[in-house]
Amino acid sequence: MPKQNPSTHQIKGPKAELRKDYIQDKYVIIAPRREKRPHDLEVPQKVHAYDNPEQSVFHPKNVKNRKATLTIGREGNWRIKVIPNDFPAITLDNEKAYGVQEVIIETPDPNIELDALPEKHIAEILEAYAKRTEEIQKIENIQYIIIFKNDGGKAGASIQHAHSQIFATDFIPPHLMDKSQKQLNYKLTHGTCVYCDIIKKEMAGERAVWEDKNIACFTPYASMHNYEIWIIPKQHKDNITQLDKAERKSFAKILKHALCKINELGLSYNYYFHQIVFDENQHLYMKITPRGQFWAGVEIGSGIIINSITPEEAAQFYRKGL
């Protein structure tokens, strides 16, 4: 029997597609067939609940003597507390690694995750982000602020208690400098913000998840992560300090829904948004990246990401329950 020619071997299912980021030179291969490939190794799932809540380093008893940079609620009965990071990679007294790192303790209860909090409380967390951004960007030489959350071990979380972080430094990462330049070039060429145009296009297509008059939510065309999803204000806002109360309320509503859906999958996740202090052309958005895949040789070696979940399929998943 003749050997089968690998080049003519037929594999059932939709074909893979190479996709490029909206403006940057980043490439993704959307390869839904790979979702069916065999796995011998188990993917670690999230771990829940402290047996003794006071084991958490962020339990109210363990941070009651910590100097807070922001407290929402009464000091003895706070809802959200922001404190300096105990193990910072950057500090204001080190010119070789200059900056600020803070931790936002999202709830005093160590056993409640962010997706289980009321929308009003989540809106208050967004308000805390805004208040700390407003103060940190006043610090001399601070040029870049990223606010991020690691949830679950696969996402890099070292502490289970619900928290997020602020990292602000005096340099702008090169890929974000490139992004800012491309955004400016687009505006000079087209007279509009590229992300304002992206919102209009995506919300009219199959990757749209949800919108109201304030906020849009969709899965991006060249998603780098399984079930990646973006939340973005419809009005051009370059900084979280510019979001008003109604926008934070809408943002909190869809953020809670998205995180609940990710929790259904049992996945860790990261979310983050970048803020370049002196770039008014940037358009603020939150990128949520569930960690349902490992980046291996192709991704690490070539920089080309292979995603086995199409953003169109992910959008269908997120629309359920809305």
Report residue 266 as tokens. 């049992």
Does the model's pTM come out above 0.85?
A: yes
**CB neighbour class for 86 (10 Å; exposed up to 12, middle 13-18, buried from 19):** exposed
Question: For the segment 27-69, what is each residue's pLDDT rounded down to a tens digit?
Answer: 999 998 654 433 333 444 555 578 899 999 999 999 999 999 9
Q: What is the DSSP letter of 122?
A: H
How far apart, in whole angstroms, are the C-alpha atoms of residue 98 and residue 91? 5
> Do 53-169 and 173-267+278-319 agree at the fold level?
yes
The secondary structure element, H or E, covering residue 251 is helix 245-265
CATH topology classification for 173-267+278-319: HIT family, subunit A (3.30.428)
Q: What is the CATH number of domain 53-169?
A: 3.30.428.10
Q: Which of 256, 254, 265 is nearest to 231 (CA)?
A: 254
> Tokens 């959008």 appear where?
315
Beta strand spans in 38-157 (E): 70-74, 77-84, 99-105, 144-151
What local confidence, expressed as pLDDT, does residue 51 receive?
86
- The domain limits of the chain are 53-169, 173-267+278-319
Q: Which of 242, 275, 240 is nearest to 145 (CA)?
A: 275
Question: For the segment 130-152, what is each residue's pLDDT rounded down to a tens digit?
Answer: 999 999 999 999 999 999 999 98
How far apart, in whole angstroms, are the C-alpha atoms of residue 29 and residue 16? 7
Q: Assess whether pLDDT exceeds 80 at residue 261.
A: yes
